[in-house]
Structure 1
Amino acid sequence: MVIAVIGAGSIGKRHASNLEGLGETAELIGWRGFDRSVFEARTDIEAVVIATSTPIRLELIEMCARNNWPFYAEKPLAWRVDQVEAIHDAGAPVADRSMVGFMMRYHPAVRDLAARDLSQVYAFQFEIGHDVRQWRENWSFAGSYAADPEGGGVLMDLSHEADLALALFPGLTLESVDCVGHKDFPGVDFATRLYLSGTQGVVGSVTMDYISPHSLRRAGLRGRDEVLDLDFLVPEVRIADGNDTKSVSYAFDRNDMFVEMMVDFLALVRGKNTSENPLMPRFDRMFESSLMLARAWENRKFSGVIEMDMS
């Protein structure tokens, strides 16, 4: 049986390679020229990885549900509330065997956080930023999905941190969304900050940008009993209480998160036991995360523009 990977860009190629490394038969299929009727007539498809651009989600998830194929859909699922609702309704028949690609939930530092008592945390901040022009060699922002005013922008592109906030602090409410745009890309957010609050006495923010000349990815949690500062790029966490400060470092490769998540997906597909990761982004558990992201995108408030040469 075959695990079909639809979408032959960099993330699709990564998934196909990882599946082959796990001993699976993976078939990488480009979206351009994809023939749905021919594909649906096949009898050798066990599951589908959806690695297309964000607008191409609903029709493929409908296809998977129609054929009882579990799916792994790359994040984000959608940028509007009605899209999120339609996608989750469509995916319901295979929801408990499918996943959404929020792989940062498999970062070892995040898994350690999930194992801690976070009820004493009263404030948090997640932050990610880097210069979008430096992402890949010979890559053009203007010609990419990210430059599309309908669904593009940094909020959707770098949405992992917003998902992590909700994963670690369930029940958060979105208070406001402040953005900085660019004069040459109207409607596209280049820097965005979400303000969030919880019912259990926690407040926080999530910040993301396409601007920072120095790549950063970090988080800070402030609690009554301890203070935690994480650097996901090192990666390292510093833990300070009233008596001592200690540092914990993690030795791992970024691709480990993708592999571990794919192992769990294959277990879901085959009805086997998954890992003990309590944050596993199973599709039927991800509605609130996708809904918050869509609400944030719909409620962006632009307060200025960045002067940044994008040529």
Structure 2
Amino acid sequence: MKYLIAGLGSIGRRHFRNLIALGERDILLYRTYHSTLPDDELAGFPVVTDLESALSYQPQAVIVANPTALHLEVAIPAARAGCQILLEKPISHSMEGVSELARAVEQGGGQVLVGFQYRFHPSLIQASHYLKEGVIGRPLSIRAVYGEYLPNMHPWEDYRQSYSSRKDLGGGVILTLCHPLDTMRWMIGEVQELWAFVGKLNYMELNVEDTAEIGLRFATGAVGSLHLDYYQRPPAHYLVIVGDQGILRWNNANGVLQIYHADLGKMETFPPPRGFGRNDMFLAEMRHFMAVVRGEESPACTLEDGRKVLELALAAHESQNVGGLIKFL
């Protein structure tokens, strides 16, 4: 099976290493040499610098890991060529071209797995099962927080030049840290209404927002809120879901899931598997993608899931711009 990796920054390198760890060596690298990471580990693997040449090698699978604003420039031709695609999140920085990608996927006959790796966190998978089983009753509210100090995200590069801080590359805290929008949809369902306060509150030299407070109303009637920022130290990433029969809490810092049973007055604690580390999510994601490529599984996070998250992220900006509530049909 031939894999093409487009983009060799932090996430592209992670996927590269994980493919090798899982026994894959037929890997082609499509790059523009803008990465700020050293190239030593890439020695011996073929490199191409234009997409047409890359696709002429007829890869069965394409991993799109370049900057957000450039995703569809790779994904659409790859989809037309019939490739299976692992498309990093968010799928783009605007809705322009997203419908064209969907048509290209249908035309080419491949599938798209969107790279929301928290879909593969064992404690969150467990949480989704408990919610479906009604362990905390009917979910009434959900609160998520994801904050991290931007200069510490990629300490080997100037944060002001990273894609996360550049509007032209699809940066900003809402798009860069959009994982909770996917997790909240996964856990609770579709969003009907959204409002947001979005701004640049910190002193960092950015031309994008560093803060967002987003309110959500779900089709189930549940309400939610999400806080995102680029300045929390230490970083915070957690989730609290309140049901009419209990509470579910998850914290990324230790991977622990807690369930409070109101009828028993008892808290249960579920740690992740012994030895679990952050890369285990990405390994699980890659194993799943390899199974998708072989035709053994369907994507756990589809292109439509990615489109919905992008729609929510862009709606947060729209809400700030118009100063009002955004409703979804």
* Same fold at TM > 0.5: yes
1:309: which partner in 2?
none
8 Å contact 2:189–2:220 — kept in the other structure? no
Check 1:185–1:234 CA distance in 2 against 1; reply closer, same or farther (3 A cut). same
Residue-by-residue CA offset, 1:15-45 (whole Å, 9 max, x unaligned) = 01111111112233323472123223224x1
1:203: which partner in 2?
223
2:271: which partner in 1?
249
Structure whose residues are more often helix by fraction? 2
Residue-by-residue CA offset, 1:128-149 (whole Å, 9 max, x unaligned) = 1121122233421211112223
| Counterpart-to-counterpart distance in 2, 1:14 and 1:30 | 15
Asked if residue 161 in structure 1 is aligned to residue 180 in structure 2, the reply is yes
2:50: which partner in 1?
35
Alignment-mate amino acid for residue 20 of structure 1: I
1:127: which partner in 2?
145
| Counterpart-to-counterpart distance in 1, 2:196 and 2:101 | 24
**Hey, which bits of structure 1, 4+ residues long, moved more than 4 A?**
182-187
8 Å contact 1:80–1:295 — kept in the other structure? no
1:64: which partner in 2?
78
1:306: which partner in 2?
none
8 Å contact 1:122–1:201 — kept in the other structure? yes
Pairwise mapping of residues 107-256 of structure 1 onto structure 2 (< 5 A)? 107-117=121-131, 120-150=138-168, 151-182=170-201, 188-242=208-262, 243-251=265-273, 252-256=276-280
TM normalised by structure 1 equals 0.87
| Counterpart-to-counterpart distance in 2, 1:129 and 1:285 | 23
Aligned match of 1:294 in 300, 311, 314?
A: 314
Pairwise mapping of residues 74-93 of structure 1 onto structure 2 (< 5 A)? 74-93=88-107
8 Å contact 1:128–1:161 — kept in the other structure? yes
1:248: Cα distance to partner? 1.4
| Counterpart-to-counterpart distance in 1, 2:279 and 2:11 | 11
**Unpaired runs of at least 5, structure 2:** 34-47, 324-329
Q: What do you get for the CA RMSD once the two structures are aligned?
A: 2.3
8 Å contact 2:82–2:109 — kept in the other structure? no
SS of the aligned residue for 1:55 comes to helix
Residue-by-residue CA offset, 1:123-166 (whole Å, 9 max, x unaligned) = 00111112112223342121111222343210011110111111
TM normalised by structure 2 equals 0.83
Percent identity between the two aligned chains: 23
| Counterpart-to-counterpart distance in 2, 1:56 and 1:249 | 38
Asked if residue 103 in structure 1 is aligned to residue 104 in structure 2, the reply is no
1:281: Cα distance to partner? 0.6
2:45: which partner in 1?
none
Deviates more, 1:207-216 or 1:239-248: 239-248
| Counterpart-to-counterpart distance in 1, 2:109 and 2:138 | 33
Structure with larger RCO (C-alpha < 8 A, sep 6+): 1
| Counterpart-to-counterpart distance in 2, 1:250 and 1:271 | 29
1:12: which partner in 2?
12
Alignment-mate amino acid for residue 2 of structure 1: K
